[in-house]
């Protein structure tokens, strides 16, 4: 994801994605998932019983199983739940790629393949195009600094790095995660020039794309984000891993690169009140107006 994302929301998405992947992995993984979700349910019970009248418990990016558990827990505590946002997280299931021969680019749509090939040819004029994994903490932190520069130049105050606590939190996370193999940071190189940096988590054969920063140029045929993700996905396939998850977010490349998806919701749990009902109605009205505006724009296009 290239846009703003809070550290808290993203780490919640990361944990939930691990749960989903563990659930389809080994018997030990499924047992781990059951144990973790049992703990989550117990935590929900404790939190909902401590909610004061004006409090809300917001669960970000949860899957249908956890949503059901949260609604049941809220019902037992005589609380109400409200869906604040719904989204779809897209990912690449490598089993599907291997079933089609293992050539990831060959599984992409024609327009996407052409865009990749054209961008690769243009970048190759500068030198070899390759993905370099940052093997040491020092390399990873230097690449993270460059990611921050790319990100800020594109998003400015809307970017996640505008939060002063974001950077030191992730620097510590990278310092701990790189030696363990839980964090993977890569540079996409065109000759001696870095055109993209990806910051991913890795667990049990699954890569979870957390953040990226890219060198955008005036020539629209140059697509640093697309090339960075394609090379990272191919690297992950070559390592024998199982999947590459984009997590939630609207970035356009996700629908073109993914071959699977799963639903996610953001819900709020709280005590019923006139103010909360009014807020919910206003939110629904805003959503309806946004849908109407989108339909009108599409009709006019």
What Cα–Cα distance (Å) separates residue 210 from each residue in 132, 142, 223, 276? 17, 17, 19, 33
**Rounded to whole angstroms, how far apart are CA atoms 123 and 277?**
54
> pLDDT tens across 223-276, in order?
999 999 999 999 999 999 999 999 877 667 888 999 999 888 888 888 776 666
pLDDT of res. 131: 98
Position 9 pLDDT exceeds 50? no
> pLDDT tens across 150-192, in order?
988 887 777 777 788 888 999 999 999 999 999 999 999 999 9
Three-state secondary structure string covering 48-82: HHCCCCCCEEEEEEECHHHHHHHHHHHHHCCCEEE
Q: Are residues 163 and 33 in the same domain?
A: no
Position 41 pLDDT exceeds 70? no
In a domain, 7, yes or no: no
Three-state secondary structure string covering 213-246: EECCCCCCCCCHHHHHHHHHHHHHHHCCCCEEEC
Longest Cα–Cα distance of the chain, Å, equals: 64
pLDDT of res. 156: 74
In a domain, 22, yes or no: no
> pLDDT tens across 81-95, in order?
888 888 888 999 999
Q: Are 208 and 14 in contact (CB under 8 A)?
A: yes
Residue that has been written with the tokens 């019902």 in this structure: 75
- Cα angle 220, 226, 227 (rounded to 5 degrees) comes to 100
Give φ, ψ of 188 to 5 degrees: -100, 120
Q: Are residues 84 and 95 in the same domain?
A: no
Confidence of residue 286 (pLDDT cuts 50, 70, 90): confident
pLDDT of res. 114: 97
Q: Are residues 112 and 69 in the same domain?
A: no
Range of the domain at 51: 27-88+264-292
In a domain, 139, yes or no: yes
Range with the largest mean pLDDT of 65-79, 80-94, 125-139, 142-156: 125-139
Residue that has been written with the tokens 């052409």 in this structure: 114
């Amino acid at each position: 994801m290239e846009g703003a994302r809070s550290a808290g929301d993203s780490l919640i998405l990361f944990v939930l994605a691990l749960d989903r992947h563990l659930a389809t992995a080994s018997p030990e993984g499924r047992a781990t998932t059951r144990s973790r979700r049992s703990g989550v349910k117990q935590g929900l019970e404790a939190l909902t019983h401590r909610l004061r009248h004006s409090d809300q418990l917001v669960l970000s990016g949860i899957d249908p199983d956890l949503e059901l558990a949260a609604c049941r827990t809220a019902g037992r505590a005589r609380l109400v739940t409200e869906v604040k946002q719904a989204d779809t997280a897209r990912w690449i299931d490598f089993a599907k790629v291997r079933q089609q021969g293992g050539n990831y680019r060959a599984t992409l749509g024609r327009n996407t393949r052409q865009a990749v090939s054209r961008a690769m040819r243009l970048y190759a004029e500068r030198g070899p195009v390759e993905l370099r994994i940052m093997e040491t903490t020092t390399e990873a932190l230097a690449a993270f600094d460059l990611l921050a520069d790319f990100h800020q130049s594109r998003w400015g105050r809307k970017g996640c790095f505008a939060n002063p606590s974001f950077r030191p939190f992730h620097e510590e996370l990278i310092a701990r995660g790189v030696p363990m193999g839980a964090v993977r940071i890569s540079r996409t190189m065109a000759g001696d020039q870095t055109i993209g940096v990806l910051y991913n988590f890795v667990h049990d054969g699954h890569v979870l794309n957390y953040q990226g920063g890219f060198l955008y140029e005036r020539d629209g045929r140059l697509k640093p984000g697309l090339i960075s993700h394609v090379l990272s996905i191919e690297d992950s396939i070559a390592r024998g891993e199982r999947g590459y998850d984009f997590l939630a977010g609207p970035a356009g490349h996700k629908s073109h690169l993914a071959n699977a998806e799963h639903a996610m919701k953001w819900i709020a749990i709280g005590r019923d009140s006139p103010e909360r009902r009014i807020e919910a109605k206003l939110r629904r009205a805003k959503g309806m107006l946004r849908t109407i505006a989108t339909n009108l724009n599409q009709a006019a296009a």
